[in-house]
Chain A
Amino acid sequence: MSIDMSQFYQVFFEETSEHLANMENLLLSLDVDDPSLEDLNAVFRAAHSIKGGSGTFGFTDMTSVTHVLESLLDRLRKEELALRADMVDAFLAAGDVLRAQLEHHQGGPEADADEIETVCARLNQLAAGESAAATPAPVAAASAPTATPARKIRLECTLPPNIAGVAEVIDNLLDALRDIAAVDVKQRPNPADTRLILVLTTQAGDSELKDSLAFYSAPEGISIQPEAEEEAYGFFDDLPSEAASPTVDDSYGFFVDLPNEPVSAAEEDDGFGLFDDAPGVPIEPAQQAFVLPGDSPAAIEGPGYGIYVDAPGGLGLFDGAPGAEHVLGIGAPGLFSGKAKSEAEATETPGEPVSVGRRLIDNPSIETAKAGRRDSDKAVTATNTDTSIRVAVEKVDQLINLVGELVITQAMLAEAANNLDPVLAEKLLAGIDLLSRNTRDMQESVMSIRMLPMSMVFSRFPRVVRDLAGKLNKQVEIKTIGDNTELDKGLIEKITDPMTHLVRNSLDHGIETPEKRIAAGKNPKGTLTLKASHQGGSVVIEVIDDGGGLNRARILEKAKEKGLPVSDNMADFDVWQLIFAPGFSTADVVTDVSGRGVGMDVVKRNIEGLGGRVELESSPGFGTRTVIRLPLTLAILDGMSVGVGGETFIVPITTVIESLQPKMDDIRTMAGDSRMVHVRGEYLPLISLAEAFGLDGFDDITKGLLVVVEAEEGKAALFVDELLGQQQVVIKSLEANYRKVPGISGATIMGDGRVAMIVDVSAVTRMGLSNIKRRQAA
């Protein structure tokens, strides 16, 4: 093969895992008794595009599994079979197998061959099962995704010159075709005429044929015509469904990068879809127009595109594919899939797309991306079009850094401009005002690039719950609220594990068995609710179950056993916190206390590591709610800026409980030296930040302020000179160019361009406490 495929593997891997996830979601949301045709179609499309992609890249093991899967799905969506729950199970199992195979191709362990065998057999059985009577040739039905009777077609395929002469490539191509059709070669390509002419007898649809050839030639280089008499036989017979399949386009998506692929195939498909519905358009000229590019890659981008715009008839639709998308799409197959989907939506409802096409044709002035976009938007009905581009995270981070710089520069400018005479420098000041607004907006939008919806996390749980509930013989319904709440990518990745833990706990120990629930007068089906929302500067994620709740008496008993300081009058809130104590959660407690045990301390530690907090609420018999509070991003910290000895320090606001002005009476000394402060009935160690950081701060405690903080080590009061304000700061590493500094977790750049240190409250508390101890010892 003359083209190195491996560079596209990553794209395939990413897309395929997306399709798999998508498929699983759809399957889980399917109503078995009354499946929506749209969903079935969507599942089919996902399977189909995995098949297309894996076939193209030579991952034949995946192709064969998807093929079987597809056959059954196809029969379902054509309503030849009724959907049953066991089919959904089989589909899910097939999804797992595919995922395993995908991981194998990505360098993971080999997929279990027996498993694959079982799944395929099961699918085949389901597909063949009741259908033997319905269709005369079940085998054929299984081997071809569409149950069209065999037909004879003439296929002309113009190959790029560089592969046209390679016999080996042509043989590969023919082999690929022989899998789905009987092939009769009429003309092999030669340097003079790079066309490959075949007569095929096949049940496969045109698009499937094109799929098989996609790697060798752009779809516009392929012409398929019924051989001889079957004139009226649908030229684009299969297209409505195919055009409706973004999947095909997805797999074409990566060919956009191929040097020999002149044009975006996705657009071509749209075009074909249009022809199907617009009978008046002459096919032959269109075909020629399509075949035109392809000689020199250089000539393609510009003029190639131009051809479509100027081309007669239905080609006008390409205007609808906005130029901007065309350009962007070259690096971003995802964009095309979205676009294709929107067109697909159009083709699904016949009539409408024609009008869209017509409108575009009639109005040659629609050339701008904007206009095109608007038209295609109209074609989109209710579905949420998924337009996205893939960008490396480093690039985004770099952008965020740069915008951070910009914000600082802007702040400096604004400060410098304060000294100017407002009358003389009116224009400059107005410009600076505008600049500050623009930079703020820009920072916001750039930060939002890193934000991902919570559905990225939530989407995995329906499956977890389904499997686990089945295993535990419980009936559980999962609800998610606030799927669109956005969270920083880094947090999304790190929150998944603790969430999984909480969900499993809820299912295992929270929600009771149906019998118990009925006995308690509850719905036998338990409900697990996952909820995400924004509250101020943080994201709140809740895991709520309507199970038995925590057993207060049992927890207290266990805590006493462990020697933890507890009393019977403790507030519920504090009792629940006990289960986060490390080592508290033994298996024995877990089962008896209706849950919440194993590894809750790990959950808590992980969440605190992300700068968040976790809290529990529970009422016996009604369930438990776990509330996780997280900062919006890892890169930004809500801080309280304090002044100590002329320097500015940032104290993370999550650790601050209150700040107060101390009275001399509140300060007590212990052993004559270490100071304690009496705050609301508690004696807290008093730690002077100036002392901890070797600065000249205030000596007189009544002149300064105390910031009461809570760290792992407990509460402490930090003595500072003054409070300067509260603001969000961008965390910068000190270690990048320097080294770790005790008591400092990082640095940030303030509005005036100066560097401020971020206080590591835990470490400072520790340092302070050990200082006190040391002094006591001395």
Chain B
Amino acid sequence: MDYPETSGIATSGEYLTFTLGAEEYAIDILKVQEIRGYDAVTKIANAPPFIKGVINLRGVIVPLVDLRIKFNLGNFTYDEFTVVIILNIGKRVMGVVVDGVSDVIQLSSDNLHAAPEFGSILDTRYILGLGTVEERMIIVVDIERLMTSQEMSLVESAGQPLAVAT
């Protein structure tokens, strides 16, 4: 089996796809704990704007990141259709706010193309590849690497202990 050089994570398997604005993204489904609505968020003082705050997930305090703000996808609203994907990364629980969850798809590395190198907000380091399903382009994100990265400022010492955990 072929692995793209960008990551050590197996790229064949089931992926959860979600939409951010007009774009469609996919993440490894094994990292997903649950999906829930956007509700009752408590702001965190002096946090970057894409960190919306924390929520109470059955007694666990979970920080939320709005990927739409992070990826600069303009125009976002918070309504009853806004979805939060709760992720289990390393030993941590965190949530990402997205516009909607669409599907669970099967992707093998054959269907994945390396993302072209050009300067975008989403660094290609965090992209496992681009997939195509029924003529739609799906951006497959290395969510673990993204969420533990320094620029997300979600963890104290970014990356090290968690990235190794895979």
CA distance A692 to B44 in the complex (A): 12
Contact A741–B45 (Cβ < 8 Å)? yes
Nearest CB in chain B to that of A406: its residue = B59
What are 12 of the A-B contact pairs (CB < 8 Å)? A647-B42, A647-B43, A693-B46, A694-B45, A732-B61, A739-B153, A739-B156, A742-B45, A744-B45, A749-B59, A749-B61, A757-B45
Contact A749–B56 (Cβ < 8 Å)? yes
Residue numbers in A under 8 Å from B94 (CB-CB): 737-738
Q: Which 9 A-B pairs have the closest CB atoms?
A: A693-B45, A755-B42, A405-B59, A738-B63, A739-B156, A749-B56, A737-B92, A754-B40, A747-B61
CA distance A747 to B55 in the complex (A): 10
Contact B59–A736 (Cβ < 8 Å)? no
Residue numbers in A under 8 Å from B153 (CB-CB): 739
- The answer to whether the Cβ of A408 comes within 8 Å of any Cβ in the partner chain is yes
Residue numbers in B under 8 Å from A734 (CB-CB): 54, 61
Residue numbers in B under 8 Å from A738 (CB-CB): 44, 54, 61, 63, 94, 154-155
As a 0/1 sequence over residues 705 to 747 of chain A, the CB contacts with chain B under 8 angstroms (1 = contact) are 0000000000000000000000000001111111111111001
In residues 21-71 of chain B, which contact A (Cβ within 8 Å)?
40, 42-47, 53-56, 58-63
A-side residues, CB < 8 A to B, are: 401, 404-405, 408, 647-648, 692-695, 732-744, 747, 749, 752-757
Contact B60–A737 (Cβ < 8 Å)? yes
Nearest CB in chain B to that of A732: its residue = B61
CA distance A733 to B92 in the complex (A): 12
CA distance A739 to B59 in the complex (A): 17
Nearest CB in chain B to that of A690: its residue = B45
Residue numbers in B under 8 Å from A647 (CB-CB): 42-43
Nearest CB in chain A to that of B46: its residue = A694
CA distance A757 to B42 in the complex (A): 8
As a 0/1 sequence over residues 75 to 116 of chain B, the CB contacts with chain A under 8 angstroms (1 = contact) are 000000000000000001110000000000000000000000
Known: A732-B61, A755-B56. A739 touches B92 (CB 8 A): no
Residue of B42, B153, B154 with most chain A CB atoms under a 10 A cut-off: B42
Residue numbers in B under 8 Å from A733 (CB-CB): 61
- How far apart are A744's CB and chain B's nearest CB, in angstroms? 6
- How far apart are A730's CB and chain B's nearest CB, in angstroms? 9
Given contacts A739-B153, A744-B44, 13 further A-B contacts (CB under 8 A): A404-B59, A694-B46, A695-B45, A733-B61, A737-B60, A738-B155, A739-B155, A741-B45, A742-B45, A749-B59, A749-B61, A754-B40, A755-B56
Residue numbers in A under 8 Å from B45 (CB-CB): 692-695, 741-744, 757
Interface size class for chain B?
20 to 34
- How far apart are B136's CB and chain A's nearest CB, in angstroms? 33
CA distance A408 to B84 in the complex (A): 21
- How far apart are B37's CB and chain A's nearest CB, in angstroms? 13
Residue numbers in A under 8 Å from B59 (CB-CB): 401, 404-405, 408, 732, 749
Contact A735–B63 (Cβ < 8 Å)? no
Contact A735–B46 (Cβ < 8 Å)? no
- How far apart are A409's CB and chain B's nearest CB, in angstroms? 8
Residue numbers in B under 8 Å from A648 (CB-CB): 42
Contact B156–A755 (Cβ < 8 Å)? no
Contact A739–B54 (Cβ < 8 Å)? no
Residue numbers in A under 8 Å from B155 (CB-CB): 738-739
Residue numbers in B under 8 Å from A754 (CB-CB): 40, 42, 56
Residue numbers in A under 8 Å from B62 (CB-CB): 737
CA distance A692 to B25 in the complex (A): 37
Nearest CB in chain B to that of A645: its residue = B43
Nearest CB in chain B to that of A648: its residue = B42
Contact A747–B156 (Cβ < 8 Å)? no
Nearest CB in chain B to that of A753: its residue = B56
Residue numbers in B under 8 Å from A732 (CB-CB): 59-61
CA distance A538 to B46 in the complex (A): 34
Contact B46–A755 (Cβ < 8 Å)? no
- How far apart are A356's CB and chain B's nearest CB, in angstroms? 48
Contact B93–A737 (Cβ < 8 Å)? yes
Residue numbers in B under 8 Å from A735 (CB-CB): 156
Residue numbers in A under 8 Å from B47 (CB-CB): 741
Contact B63–A737 (Cβ < 8 Å)? yes
Residue numbers in A under 8 Å from B55 (CB-CB): 755
Contact B42–A736 (Cβ < 8 Å)? no
Contact B42–A756 (Cβ < 8 Å)? yes
Nearest CB in chain A to that of B156: its residue = A739
- How far apart are A215's CB and chain B's nearest CB, in angstroms? 42
Residue numbers in B under 8 Å from A757 (CB-CB): 42, 44-45
Residue of B44, B153, B154 with most chain A CB atoms under a 10 A cut-off: B44
CA distance A512 to B7 in the complex (A): 74
Contact B61–A755 (Cβ < 8 Å)? yes
- How far apart are B12's CB and chain A's nearest CB, in angstroms? 29
Name B58's contact: one of A405, A737, A740 (CB within 8 Å). Answer: A405
Nearest CB in chain A to that of B94: its residue = A737
Residue numbers in B under 8 Å from A693 (CB-CB): 45-46
CA distance A733 to B47 in the complex (A): 17
Residue of A738, A743, A749 with most chain B CB atoms under a 10 A cut-off: A738
CA distance A485 to B62 in the complex (A): 37
Residue numbers in B under 8 Å from A753 (CB-CB): 40, 56
Nearest CB in chain A to that of B157: its residue = A739
Name A695's contact: one of B43, B56, B93 (CB within 8 Å). Answer: B43
Nearest CB in chain A to that of B59: its residue = A405
CA distance A741 to B54 in the complex (A): 12
Known: A401-B59, A742-B45. A736 touches B92 (CB 8 A): yes
- How far apart are A693's CB and chain B's nearest CB, in angstroms? 3
CA distance A736 to B47 in the complex (A): 17
CA distance A739 to B154 in the complex (A): 7
CA distance A692 to B54 in the complex (A): 18
Residue numbers in B under 8 Å from A692 (CB-CB): 45
Nearest CB in chain B to that of A649: its residue = B45
